[in-house]
Structure 1
Amino acid sequence: MAAAILAAMRASRLVSLLLLLQARGRMTAAELAEELEVSVRTVYRDVQSLHEAGIPLYGDAGHEGGYRLLDGYRTRLTGLTADETQAWFLAALPDPAAQLGLGEAAAAARLKISAALPPALRERAERVRERFLLDAPGWYGPDEQVPHLPVVADAVWNRQAVRVRYRRWREPAESDRRLEPYGLVLKAGRWYVVAHDGRERRTYRVDQMLEVCVLDETFAAPPGFDLAGYWREYLAGFHARLHREQALIRLSPRGAERLPALLSRAVARAVAEDGEREPDGWVRARVPIESVAHAHGEFLRLGADLEVLAPDPLRELLAESARALAALYAPPRATPPPPPTPPR
């Protein structure tokens, strides 16, 4: 078994060496060793093996020397336009591939495609790699740890049911479920799995899965199921459910200026489209909110530059927070001096 693994690793390395030379032209043994993460001695042995296999691989001595393939020795990838090549390299996100356990495979695929492209398209793809970087996760919050993602992805691929222990935001905090996972979606740096739980099709966060056990049970997705179409409908429903309540607010000129950077786009859009400027320069608007509790945390970001006029529960909650902050930051009371000691 170990010998077979070593042989497979060496075969993969030989292919990578060949593709590196095909993609980049002349390379020294040291450059190849660095790319392949092996010793220079190993590169020498691999080059000899390729040469003995009939690959037209030549080495040139001297300062400008190195290994190269005979001109014209390459497998060309046909059918790709310049725009298609650019789009593929833009879409090849390394971090999601690594989370799925496909980091090395994705890197190898990019290398193979790059090696097979004609020179003009390869140069265009290289410019894309140098000048564009897609970083999906948001700024605030640590990178998500998704230890069970490769297992879930494998179950999605093989159409196998899974049993998961899932952490929820409401009671009971944890639950056990049997799921039939239809597909995976990466949204804003977070992985979701679309699955059927025996009653309905739902969406689950993979990072909230505490345990995942792949069952010896296969399933078939519903005929005509379209993951992209389902996700579009899910997002539309999510946004419709998100803002079911409203609040009447007033914003100072400074608050109106800071609003787009601190509150949601839905609130900023409502103020921009329907806000009415009052004589004192403040803007009055009716804005959508998710809930009183959620709006309380959001509106505190603007401090005294935002006044809530309605609903009353939200106004009272903010007033309570304001009183608590005033008490917390109030200057300490001066301690009165002790009374004088009477004479004896």
Structure 2
Amino acid sequence: MKSSRLLSIVLLLQTRGRMTAAQLAAELAVSVRTVYRDIESLHAAGVPMYGDAGHCGGYHLLAGYRTRLTGLSAGEAEALFLSGIPGPAADLGLGAPLAAAQLKLRAALPPELREQADRMRARFHLDAPGWYAQDEETPYLQQVADAVWHSRVLDVRYRRWQQPTDVDRRLEPYGLVLKAGRWYVVAGPGPRTYRVDQILRLTVLDEKFTPPENFDLAGHWERHQADFHARLHQAEALVRIAPHAASRLMGAAARALADSGTPDPDGWIRAVLPVESLDHAHGVFLALGEDVEVLGPPELRAALAATVRALAMRYASG
């Protein structure tokens, strides 16, 4: 709707400062011509907005002009209350500010939106970690977050999985990411990703750094995830699996079975499944017991056969 778009332009300029017509068009998913028409409508409505030509030009509001009209829809009000996850906010030392902000927002809402926001909070609860995840101790999380915010260099002692396990690192923390209940800091040089709960010692230095101008935390994390999954599955296994056991597969293996599995005459499903490694696959398929048959590679089939023979001998001797 045009009225909603006009309000969005005012709020964008109010929060971001000067923006070009092209930037506004990209943000609102409309044409530049539409932005020009909307600017004319705002001028006609008396909004004190000015446009500067040239390379550094753009539209901006008169200094000091603020609108208190938020234009929140019911869905937007519900989303704001749903997005305030108390656990992570408390981890960052922002539990009390979050509660205070939600209280102020609730008080400012009209009665009908307040009722819908309250219903959202009463009926939806977000709990990010998995069922079997242990709460990791992250004693340095708030210091890392403060260093991210103030662009301060960190000197850390960090524990990694490969030898040598404990190493010293100088980090320029660009941003924090919460994934499945675990905090990660993305830091230069690199940038590289570090688990905050694996920081053994931390000193915040007086030295400051300037984050890369074009660094995009969300984009970096998306690429990091894609690269992680690409490196995760380095092998394949040809298997036959009983239909009732298919639901016990997870992740990439479950997707591969659903996408490319073909039924054998006896009803079992034959498929090529990605696996992290042959050692990992050995444990996964062994857990499925008699409901799976590994056809290849030969070394995985031989390893499973040897384990089964050893188990049979152990239990037969009792």
Which position in structure 1 is the counterpart of 2:281? Answer: 295
Distance 2:69 2:113 in 1: 10
Which position in structure 1 is the counterpart of 2:290? Answer: 304
Which position in structure 2 is the counterpart of 1:316? Answer: 302
Shift of 1:313: 2.4
**Structure 1 stretch 275-284 or stretch 95-104: which is displaced more?**
275-284
Residues 259 and 268 in structure 1, CA contact (< 8 A), matched pair in contact too = yes
Residue number among 192, 206, 226 corresponding to 1:236 in the alignment: 226
Instruction: Determine whether 1:88 maps to 2:80.
Output: yes
Distance 2:278 2:134 in 1: 27
For normalisation by structure 1, the TM-score amounts to 0.69
Residue number among 84, 96, 104 corresponding to 1:104 in the alignment: 96
Runs of 4+ residues deviating >4 angstroms: none
Q: How does 1:154-233 map to 2 (within 5 A)?
A: 154-197=146-189, 200-233=190-223
Which position in structure 1 is the counterpart of 2:270? Answer: 284
Distance 1:196 1:330 in 2: 57
Shift of 1:266: 1.4
Distance 1:136 1:77 in 2: 33
Assess, with a 3 A threshold, how the Cα gap between structure 1 residues 327 and 112 changes in structure 2: closer, same or farther.
farther
Which position in structure 2 is the counterpart of 1:79? Answer: 71
Partner of 2:288: helix, strand, or coil? helix
Distance 1:272 1:235 in 2: 22
Residues 196 and 202 in structure 1, CA contact (< 8 A), matched pair in contact too = yes
Shift of 1:281: 2.2
Distance 2:230 2:239 in 1: 21
The letter of the residue matching 1:148 is Y
Shift of 1:331: 5.3
Instruction: Determine whether 1:270 maps to 2:251.
Output: no
Partner of 2:82: helix, strand, or coil? helix
Distance 1:268 1:194 in 2: 30
Query: Which is higher, the Rg of structure 1 or of structure 2?
Result: 1
Map Cα deviations across residues 295-318 of structure 1 (whole Å, 9 max, x no partner).
Answer: 122222211111111112222322
Distance 2:135 2:69 in 1: 36
Residues 183 and 193 in structure 1, CA contact (< 8 A), matched pair in contact too = yes
Partner of 1:172: helix, strand, or coil? coil
Distance 2:181 2:246 in 1: 25
Distance 1:203 1:184 in 2: 9
Shift of 1:271: 1.6
Assess, with a 3 A threshold, how the Cα gap between structure 1 residues 328 and 94 changes in structure 2: closer, same or farther.
farther
Map Cα deviations across residues 268-287 of structure 1 (whole Å, 9 max, x no partner).
Answer: 22222222222222222111
Map Cα deviations across residues 190-241 of structure 1 (whole Å, 9 max, x no partner).
Answer: 11111113xx211111111111111111111111211111111111222222
Identity, in percent, stands at: 59
The letter of the residue matching 2:177 is V
Count of aligned pairs:
251
Residue number among 125, 129, 133 corresponding to 1:141 in the alignment: 133
The letter of the residue matching 1:131 is R
Residues 270 and 287 in structure 1, CA contact (< 8 A), matched pair in contact too = yes
For normalisation by structure 2, the TM-score amounts to 0.75
Structure 2 residues without counterparts, runs of 5 or longer: 1-67
Partner of 1:287: helix, strand, or coil? strand
Shift of 1:152: 0.7
Which position in structure 1 is the counterpart of 2:244? Answer: 257
Partner of 2:113: helix, strand, or coil? helix
Structure 1 residues without counterparts, runs of 5 or longer: 1-75, 333-344
Residues 245 and 291 in structure 2, CA contact (< 8 A), matched pair in contact too = no
Distance 1:286 1:186 in 2: 33
Residues 77 and 117 in structure 1, CA contact (< 8 A), matched pair in contact too = no
